[in-house]
Amino acid sequence: MQVSSTRIAYGDQPAALIEWHDIADRKAYELKLLRGQELIERERGLAVERMNDTTQALSGWIWETDAEHRFVFMTESVERMAGVKPEWHYGKTRRDLMAAGVQAVRSELDEVERAMFAHEPFRDFEFIRTGPDGNDGWLRTSGVPFFDDNGEFLGYRGAAFSIDYEKQLEGERARLMEEAAAARRRLEQAIDAQTNSFALFDADDRLVACNKAFSEMSPLDGYRLQIGEQFEKIPSSIADYRKLTGKERKAFIDKRMFEHLNDIGPITKQTTRNRWIISDERRTSEGGVVGVWTDVTELIEARQAAEAANRAKSEFLAMISHEIRTPMNAVLGMASVLLESEMQAEQRRQVETIQNSGEALLTLINDVLDLSKIEARRIELETEEFSLKGLLDAVLDIAGARAAVKQLEVVAYADIGLADRLLGDANRLRQILLNLVSNATKFTEEGSISINARAISQTSTGTTTVRFEVKDTGIGIPAEVLEKLFTPFTQADASTTRRYGGTGLGLTISKQLIELMGGRIGVESAPGEGSCFWVEAPFVPADTAQSIEPPQDTGDWLIIGQDSLTRQMIVKTVEDAGADALIADDAASGLRALDDPSISTKTIGILESADLNVHDLVTVVAKLGHDTERRIVVISKERADTDDLLALPAVDGVVAAPVRSWQLLNPNQDEVADVTIDPPTNDDSGLLAPLDVLLVEDNRVNQMVATAMLKLGNHRVDIAENGLEALSAVLRKKYDVIFMDMQMPQMDGLDATREIRAMDNVASKTPIVAMTANAMVEDRKRCMDAGMDDFLSKPIDHGRLNATLDRWGRQGGVAVDEDATAEELQLAAKPTSENLQVDAFVEDEADRFDSEEAVLRDLVADLDDILGASDDDTGGDPLGGTQTSGSS
């Protein structure tokens, strides 16, 4: 209730008017109004709080300006976000805040102010605000105008955000993009600078990038693959150009697409423009294709020109070899004949000088021919079964003869368990090993040489890599020379060539041959410490292969003799066989060991030396009476004449130098040296009955030499000067052997052989042996294909001639490989028929050819022709204009 009192006059009396009013409804309304106001304030506070929280969460703040665009309100988050209190902004316009940053955004600011003056909203205006401390910061703001109920413009409300970090990231991103763009430009420039064509295709096989060379490498005139086009358009266009249709077109396109998409590696191909390219296309990790195309037309043309030049050189060398071999045949042949005659010591020395010099020249010719054949890729390797022991025996027979002259110790060792029978080119392997051993002998004045063979690896298919080592105690090789050692015509230095001779071709040929065989060659050496040359090559054991194994009852050895390479090798061989080796340095120590009952040995090995008298020691041992189960084996320092040692009482075996490990445990057993390259044995020609021989040869010098050699064996010789005369001769008379030249006037030896083989009489069965200065492998094949039975290359060696007569004179002979070296041929050439009156015979033959002087004139003329032809050829085509004598 509400009570109010009002003074009044009631009549004449003062009075009071008291009023009672029920104000319950009013009070209720007032209370409601108060509560509403509190709620409004609370909601307003919540709204402000929400606004602050929201703007803070958005890394921004809320602002408001009046109609003059001066800030009148900002949320507190501005201090947290921009580092400036809200009050600092009040009364300032946006332009006031920008300070020096106005110029940076002049055009954008003008646009925003235009909108503000027009009372229009604006969005995402970015500017630099300068704070009270002078620090600048990037802001982004948006605003909308607000009006009163009457539409009167009151100001702007909006939000602002600090974008310093965003601008920093944007700057970094711009920097990185510029760097990437610069890198791309550099890459594009580098790719464009390449002469090779480059292209990148995406996972849909569309061209996304290429260089200028690719654009210009169009397979067709007026056609370019454009960015975005698929690769298949290229083979399709080529198919259209070639007018391919149906299956042929599809097959062409499918093949090219397969090459493009399947990482098959570099492919050399010829384009429609007759250019040669190497195409290399690879898949990328994203499924696209990157391709590089290299134009190698000039390289291929240069290679073809080089190969043609190489062939021309090889043919020229073959021609020169042929022409040189003809007079060389006379020089060496007549020297061989003269050496079998009686002459004074000085005369013999002079003839031997002629023969040795001729053989050295022949070796050089053979080396140059081998090198030229290798360079021209005309070497064909053989794959035949051979005995490793037999091959090493052949090498040692030749090496031992040379080493014996210099009193060098030579031994050979082959690992126990190494397969003896292998498949491969024994001739070439023997040639390589002979060269290495010959070099070791040449450059070793004293000491020893060893040849070792061992298996170093074996594949699952059985292919065995064998390592051969040739070690010597010679002069050694400086390190700076080792790297050029396998270069043609290279030796250690000029003084080496002057002192030791040689051309330096041997190692070059060996390197190229062993690489053709799938192997490699190397050397380890130091000056004054000797050298170790090694070769490794793969071989397949033959079906009949047997390992180099010792007997099962090897037993222990007592080795008596001074320390030497031979003794070391014997010890290793015995120990590898699973036995023990006891060493005694001298005879006295050996006898004490024999008297020691605690020492039990099965074999006594006695090393012959200057300080140990084998005869006396064996005699003493025999008198003492040794166990009958104990063997005595003498290791001789001599290569031959061991019969006297074997004849000594109690001696069970003799091993002659050079000592081989595979012979030690089986002394005096016949080793089967069935390697195909073993030098032919030279049976005394006197043991063979005189034969009727037809010599088909047009060169008078060659006629004289061959006739002289044949008549040393009492053979009867008829001469035909060409193939036509040979045909007439075989129709008139039956011959035991025909020696046939290849190149002759009127009818050559090949045609003559074919005609003889086609005859329907006994002449068709006559053995025909090529006797020619054509020394290439293909020459031998041509002769065999024509029907000849055997092949002898000039110069003719007396020993090989006799061996050939022995084979074919008895009928049913087997041709031998004529790739024998000069060393083997020299070894085979032994003096025969010493009782013949050679001088008288030579005089008779000279008379037959009008006189020795005429023959010599022919020989000199041949040499002049060769030298003249060589001089003429130096300025032009090596094959042009050269005339041959027609002889071969």
Alpha helices in 603-693 (DSSP H): 614-624, 643-646, 661-664
Residue 544: pLDDT band (50, 70, 90) is low
| 802-837 as b/e: b if 16+ CB within 10 A | bbbbbbbbeeebebbebbbbbbbbbbbbeebeeebe
Compute the average pLDDT of residues 638-658. Answer: 75
**Residues 530, 883: Cα–Cα separation, whole Å:** 49
Q: Is 257 helix (H, G, I), strand (E, B) or coil?
A: helix
- Segment among 445-449, 523-527, 713-717, 825-829 with least mean pLDDT: 825-829
- pLDDT at position 489: 54
For 679-873, the fitting CATH number among 3.40.50.1950, 3.40.50.2000, 3.40.50.2300, 3.20.10.10 is 3.40.50.2300
- pLDDT at position 733: 93
Residue 716: pLDDT band (50, 70, 90) is very high
Domain boundaries, the chain: 2-38, 58-162, 194-295, 384-541, 557-664, 679-873
> In which residue are the tokens 């003809």 written?
326
Residue 141: pLDDT band (50, 70, 90) is very high
Residue 101: pLDDT band (50, 70, 90) is low
Token pair in block for residue 509 = 């040929």
Compute the average pLDDT of residues 56-68. Answer: 83
CATH class for domain 557-664? alpha beta
Give yes or no for a contact between 146 and 55, defined as CB atoms under 8 angstroms apart: no
Q: Residues 596-630: pLDDT tens digits?
A: 888 888 888 888 887 788 888 888 887 776 556 77
pLDDT at 685 over 50: no
- Segment among 2-6, 50-54, 548-552 with least mean pLDDT: 548-552
Compute the average pLDDT of residues 74-103. Answer: 83
- Segment among 32-46, 89-103, 549-563, 683-697 with least mean pLDDT: 683-697
The answer to whether the 58-162 and 194-295 domains have the same CATH topology is yes
Higher pLDDT, residue 519 or 849: 519
pLDDT at 787 over 70: yes
* Continuous segment of H or E residues that includes residue 809: helix 798-809
pLDDT at 814 over 50: no
Q: Is 451 helix (H, G, I), strand (E, B) or coil?
A: strand
Of the candidates 687, 686, 685, 705, the one whose C-alpha atom is nearest the C-alpha of residue 695 is 705
- pLDDT at position 769: 95
Q: Residues 217-259: pLDDT tens digits?
A: 766 655 677 888 888 888 888 888 888 889 998 998 898 888 8
**Residues 40, 519: Cα–Cα separation, whole Å:** 101
Q: Residues 728-780: pLDDT tens digits?
A: 999 999 999 999 999 899 999 999 999 999 998 888 999 999 998 776 777 88
- pLDDT at position 65: 95
Q: Residues 618-627: pLDDT tens digits?
A: 888 877 765 5
CA angle, residues 29, 34, 40, in degrees to nearest 5: 125
- pLDDT at position 545: 56
Q: Residues 195-221: pLDDT tens digits?
A: 788 888 899 988 888 887 787 776 665
Average pLDDT, the chain: 79
Give yes or no for a contact between 36 and 56, defined as CB atoms under 8 angstroms apart: no
pLDDT at 19 over 60: yes
Q: Residues 840-884: pLDDT tens digits?
A: 444 444 444 444 444 445 544 544 444 444 444 433 332 233 333
For 194-295, the fitting CATH number among 2.60.120.40, 3.40.50.150, 3.30.450.20, 3.40.50.10800 is 3.30.450.20
Give yes or no for a contact between 65 and 160, defined as CB atoms under 8 angstroms apart: no
Residues belonging to the chain = 888
Residue 888: pLDDT band (50, 70, 90) is low
pLDDT at 105 over 80: no
- Segment among 46-60, 169-183, 559-573, 689-703 with least mean pLDDT: 46-60
Q: Percentage of the chain surpassing pLDDT 90?
A: 21
Cβ neighbour number for residue 605 with a 10 Å cutoff: 29
Compute the radius of gyration of the chain from its Cα atoms. Answer: 53
Q: Residues 361-419: pLDDT tens digits?
A: 777 777 777 776 776 666 778 888 898 988 998 888 877 777 888 889 899 999 888 88
Compute the average pLDDT of residues 576-605. Answer: 86
**In which order are the strands placed within the sheet that holds 267-270?**
207-210, 197-201, 289-295, 276-283, 267-270
For 384-541, the fitting CATH number among 3.10.20.440, 3.30.930.10, 3.40.50.1820, 3.30.565.10 is 3.30.565.10
Q: Which residues contact 770 (CB under 8 A, 6 or more apart)?
A: 740, 741, 742, 749, 779, 780, 783, 788, 790, 791, 792
| CATH classification code of 58-162 | 3.30.450.20
Give yes or no for a contact between 147 and 45, defined as CB atoms under 8 angstroms apart: no
pLDDT at 827 over 70: no
* Continuous segment of H or E residues that includes residue 72: strand 71-74
- pLDDT at position 642: 67
- pLDDT at position 873: 42
